[in-house]
C-alpha cells in the first residue's frame, strides 16, 4: 500500500490534532527545563498548516510536506520551527514529484528528515533532544521494512521506537538547546522536542492504518 497526496495531507491533519490535544503537556514539559513555549509554538505552527491545507492541498506528497515545512518555519517562532521545518523540507526534497509514498520512499524521507534536524541543530544521540527519538525511529523503520512491513507497519515501528527514545531523554543531561543551561538539574525530565517527535510519528502511524 502506498500513500498519495490526500493520504499524506490527512496524516498531517491528524498530527495537527494530536499536537493540539497535547499542547498543555508539551508546555509543561518545556516549562520544567526550557522556556515553556514548545506546546504553544507547535500548536500555532500546525494550526497554520491546517489552514493552508484547507485552502488548497498540493498535488504530491512532497508538495504537502513542503507546505508543512514552510508553515512551521514561518509560524512556530521557537527552535522547533527551523528544526521540524528543515526535517519536512529535506523529506519533501527527497520525495520530489513522486505520486505516492511507498516503503522505500518513506525510508528515504525519514532518513532525510533526521539528517535535516541534525544538520540544523548539530545535535547527536545522547544530547537529550528530538534526535534521541528520531535516531531509533529511523533504525526501527529500516528494520521493519527489511522484515517486509508495509507503510503502516514501518511507521508504527518508528513511533514505538520514538516513544522509547523520548523516554530515554529523562535520564540524560541535555547538551543542546535551552535545557542545556540547566545541566544536571534537567535530569528527570523528558525533552519536549523528543516527546513531540514521538507524538508526530504516532499520529502518522495511526493515520496510515
Partner 1 sequence: MSVGIVLVSHSAKLAEGLAELAAQMAPDVTILPAGGLSDGSIGTDYDEVVAATQRADSGDGVVLLYDLGSAQMTAELAVESLADPSAAIVADGPLVEGAIAAAVAAQAGQDRKAVAEAAAAAGIPDDLAPAEEAPADAAEVELELHNDVGLHARPAAVLVRTLSEFDAEVTVRLGDQEADGHSVLALMSLGARQGDRIRVRARGPQASAALEKAKELVDGNFGE
Tell me the closest approach of the beta carbon of residue 205 to partner 1, in angstroms: 27
Tell me the closest approach of the beta carbon of residue 78 to partner 1, in angstroms: 5
Q: How far apart are CA 63 and CA 87, in angstroms?
A: 14
Task: Please list, in sequence order, all residues whose beta carbon lies within 8 angstroms of the beta carbon of residue 76, skipping any fewer than 6 positions away.
Answer: 41, 42, 44, 45, 84, 85
Verify binding: residue 85, partner 1, rule CB under 8 A. yes
Tell me the closest approach of the beta carbon of residue 71 to partner 1, in angstroms: 10
CB 120 within 8 A of CB 73: no
Q: How far apart are CA 50 and CA 36, in angstroms?
A: 23
CB 120 within 8 A of CB 86: yes
Among 61, 81, 136, 174, binds partner 1 (CB under 8 A): 81
Tell me the closest approach of the beta carbon of residue 177 to partner 1, in angstroms: 6
Verify binding: residue 83, partner 1, rule CB under 8 A. yes
Among 39, 61, 121, 174, binds partner 1 (CB under 8 A): 121
Among 26, 73, 91, 103, binds partner 1 (CB under 8 A): 73
Closest listed residue to residue 160, CA positions, set 184, 181, 144: 144
Q: How far apart are CA 65 and CA 81, in angstroms?
A: 14
Among 61, 177, 202, 207, binds partner 1 (CB under 8 A): 177
Which three-class secondary structure state does DSSP give residue 119? helix
Residue ranges in 10-69 that form contacts with partner 1 under rule CB under 8 A? 37, 41
Which range touches partner 1 (CB under 8 A), out of 13-21, 71-79, 145-153, 201-209? 71-79
Please give the residue ranges that form the binding site for partner 1 (CB under 8 A).
37, 41, 73-74, 76-83, 85-86, 120-121, 176-178
Amino acid at each position: 500500500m502506498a500513500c498519495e497526496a490526500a493520504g499524506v495531507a490527512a496524516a498531517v491533519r491528524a498530527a495537527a490534532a494530536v499536537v493540539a490535544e497535547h499542547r498543555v503537556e508539551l508546555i509543561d514539559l518545556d516549562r520544567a527545563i526550557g522556556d515553556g513555549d514548545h506546546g504553544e509554538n507547535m500548536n500555532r505552527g500546525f494550526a497554520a498548516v491546517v489552514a493552508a491545507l484547507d485552502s488548497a492541498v498540493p498535488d504530491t506528497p512532497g508538495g504537502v510536506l513542503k507546505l508543512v515545512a514552510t508553515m512551521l518555519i514561518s509560524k512556530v517562532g521557537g527552535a522547533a520551527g527551523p528544526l521540524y521545518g528543515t526535517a519536512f523540507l529535506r523529506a519533501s526534497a527527497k520525495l520530489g514529484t513522486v505520486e505516492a509514498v511507498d516503503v522505500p520512499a518513506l525510508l528515504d524521507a525519514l532518513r532525510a528528515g533526521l539528517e535535516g534536524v541534525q544538520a540544523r541543530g548539530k545535535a547527536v544521540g545522547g544530547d537529550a533532544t528530538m534526535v534521541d527519538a528520531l535516531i531509533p525511529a529511523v533504525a526501527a523503520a529500516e528494520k521493519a521494512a527489511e522484515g517486509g512491513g508495509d507503510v503502516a507497519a514501518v511507521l508504527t515501528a518508528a513511533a514505538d521506537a520514538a516513544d522509547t527514545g523520548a523516554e530515554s531523554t529523562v535520564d540524560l543531561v541535555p547538551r543542546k538547546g535551552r535545557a542545556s543551561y540547566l545541566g544536571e538539574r534537567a535530569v528527570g525530565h523528558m525533552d519536549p522536542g523528543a516527546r513531540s517527535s514521538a507524538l508526530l510519528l504516532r499520529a502518522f502511524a495511526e493515520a496510515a492504518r
